[in-house]
A and B are shown apart, each in its own frame.
Chain A
């Protein structure tokens, strides 16, 4: 009987939410979109590396040695006769993994820290943000190098070390956003309803600041990947025989005079990935920045 009212309900025009409008704007950005497509293809290829790679990543062929790109080895081989295409795919797995996991660590720390400081306010806020100010004077790369030299060079430590230095700006962004949200009526309503503080912060406030958080996250990932590659280049990151792009670039730079392709291809892959991530970040900022939603 009442079912007839349902079609009528569905005819009410839907307002376009921030997310939908932002998504539509992002689709119109050719650079951001192509970056997104490139990154997706790369991620799928890297994930499927064990099944699609033409060779094993540690299979050596010493009689072959280093040969340039040809029909059986698309990107050539290294000094030990290992297929470079395969090694670049496997390297991409590690580089992307570190990029995303370490960023996740930094986002987790930054959002929690910033949200608590912004919501609690008062003396706690002052102390917490003073600490962030102090940490800004800390030479980060040095800190990561110390961590990697002095403790086990495991992948998990790499995530933690990079995550531990990249959360500062996120904490500042989140705090300033929380400060403006915390004064709004729906937060007061939640307080009056007697909800626990943790629930108010993480269920009511944090979801409302996801826009800036997502934008800054996409801009953090390239920085993190660069740091990983930098550490691996210094011999402090991923340890052989595992490979990452930074490690491949290090090996390539050592023999670039005779075998330049060993430097060029891994370098190209890293650069293209950083390009894509930066374009995606810029595109998302244009799309999700509320100030630009007016036009």
Chain B
């Protein structure tokens, strides 16, 4: 296990992050304009001073090497748009919000997705299969930026059950989490149904029934363990997608999370902020995938960590 984690870290995580950092760095620097070009007519002298202060006047390659050297001991630099705030500080402040939102959405998606998938798999190709699966399909096909405003319209403006936007109260989590999680309900339901159908026709299920276990035990103790494997391997990408894909939901509901920060940073050409968030997200995705690989080998003894 330790060997696996070390190998993952040095042979995969570090090179991946390096490639991603290089691509992003040169991509945003090659584009015309800079972090200070947007502001109306800065005095050329002031501009030169600003550029010198942030080291933007040095050759690109020197800047690149300097940046990597700083990142290697955990310094992501100062933000260009929020003077006196470091990128690390800004990420540390807004990420917990995105994490909380993503976590609620994930719980919602897993509970309803697995539930719908199990119901559908019990009587395949009957009404109790089609009904939950069609509803799940709605989740895939109604985009978050349609679903979100519609939910606000119905529950916020007409029924006045929830607040229209904000993140101050516990119940402010409900609508955003629902909006964000809906698409994943559908995927998880499909994966659960497929996995369960494969399990329910296996010999060991017949054995379990033959030795007189009740249907509940057969389903939840025997079939579900194998049937959920596809769901577990999907959880990595799903968690990554939920945590990194919350721009729209955070914009619609005006939630002060990392996604909204990123969109603003991109519009402002806040170089260090963009780099910091991209690297942070990439690191998160790799970590989640590693966790899923470990979880899969625990659930399925036939697999081995490579």
Interface residues of A (CB under 8 A from B): 131, 133-134, 136-139, 141-143, 145-147, 149-151, 222, 226, 229-230, 233-234, 246, 249-250, 252-253, 256-257, 260, 263-264, 267, 270-272, 274-275, 278
Check if B149 is an interface residue, CB within 8 A of chain A: yes
Q: Choose from B27, B137, B152, B247 the contact partner of A278 (Cβ within 8 Å).
A: B137
How far, in angstroms, from A143 to B148 measured CA to CA in the complex?
24
Check if B141 is an interface residue, CB within 8 A of chain A: yes
- Specify which chain A residues have a CB less than 8 angstroms from the CB of B251 in the assembled complex: 234
Interface of A is mostly: helix
Structural contact, B277 and A263, CB atoms closer than 8 A: no
Structural contact, A137 and B285, CB atoms closer than 8 A: yes
- Specify which chain A residues have a CB less than 8 angstroms from the CB of B32 in the assembled complex: 150
- Specify which chain A residues have a CB less than 8 angstroms from the CB of B247 in the assembled complex: 141, 145, 234
Q: Choose from A149, A246, A260, A271 the contact partner of B153 (Cβ within 8 Å).
A: A260
Q: If the complex has contacts A134-B15, A134-B19, are A263 and B150 also in contact, measured as CB distance less than 8 A?
A: yes
Task: For the complex, count residues of B whose C-beta is within 8 A of A.
Answer: 46
Structural contact, A233 and B145, CB atoms closer than 8 A: yes
Check if B91 is an interface residue, CB within 8 A of chain A: no
How far, in angstroms, from A136 to B277 measured CA to CA in the complex?
16
Structural contact, A275 and B245, CB atoms closer than 8 A: no
Give me 18 other A-B pairs in contact (C-beta within 8 A), A134-B19, A222-B141, A249-B143 excluded: A141-B245, A142-B278, A145-B266, A146-B27, A146-B274, A150-B27, A233-B145, A233-B248, A234-B247, A234-B248, A249-B145, A257-B153, A264-B150, A271-B138, A271-B141, A272-B141, A274-B143, A278-B140
Nearest Cβ on chain A to B94's Cβ, whole angstroms: 15
How far, in angstroms, from A233 to B250 measured CA to CA in the complex?
13
Check if B98 is an interface residue, CB within 8 A of chain A: no
Nearest Cβ on chain B to A291's Cβ, whole angstroms: 13
Q: If the complex has contacts A134-B16, A141-B247, are A253 and B266 also in contact, measured as CB distance less than 8 A?
A: no
Structural contact, B31 and A229, CB atoms closer than 8 A: no
Interface residues of B (CB under 8 A from A): 12, 15-17, 19-20, 23-24, 27-28, 31-33, 137-138, 140-143, 145-146, 148-150, 152-153, 157, 244-245, 247-248, 251-252, 262-263, 266-267, 269, 274, 277-278, 281-282, 285-286, 289
Q: If the complex has contacts A139-B244, A141-B245, are A257 and B157 also in contact, measured as CB distance less than 8 A?
A: yes
Q: If the complex has contacts A137-B286, A230-B248, A233-B248, are A249 and B20 also in contact, measured as CB distance less than 8 A?
A: no
- Specify which chain A residues have a CB less than 8 angstroms from the CB of B267 in the assembled complex: 149
Q: If the complex has contacts A139-B281, A139-B285, A229-B143, are A151 and B262 also in contact, measured as CB distance less than 8 A?
A: no
- Specify which chain B residues have a CB less than 8 angstroms from the CB of A142 in the assembled complex: 244, 262, 266, 277-278, 281
Q: If the complex has contacts A141-B247, A146-B274, are A275 and B137 also in contact, measured as CB distance less than 8 A?
A: yes
Most chain B CB within 10 A, of A131, A150, A246, A278, is at A150
- Specify which chain A residues have a CB less than 8 angstroms from the CB of B143 in the assembled complex: 226, 229-230, 249, 267, 270-271, 274
Structural contact, A234 and B263, CB atoms closer than 8 A: yes
Top 9 nearest A-B pairs (CB, nearest first) are A150-B31, A267-B146, A253-B149, A274-B141, A139-B281, A134-B16, A149-B266, A275-B141, A233-B145
How far, in angstroms, from A260 to B149 measured CA to CA in the complex?
10
Q: Choose from B27, B142, B145, B285 the contact partner of A253 (Cβ within 8 Å).
A: B145
Q: Choose from B150, B245, B289 the contact partner of A267 (Cβ within 8 Å).
A: B150
- Specify which chain A residues have a CB less than 8 angstroms from the CB of B262 in the assembled complex: 142, 145
Interface CB pairs A-B, < 8 A, 25:
A131-B19, A134-B16, A138-B20, A141-B245, A141-B247, A145-B263, A146-B24, A146-B28, A146-B266, A147-B27, A149-B266, A149-B267, A150-B266, A151-B31, A222-B141, A234-B247, A253-B149, A253-B252, A263-B146, A263-B149, A264-B150, A267-B142, A267-B143, A275-B141, A278-B140
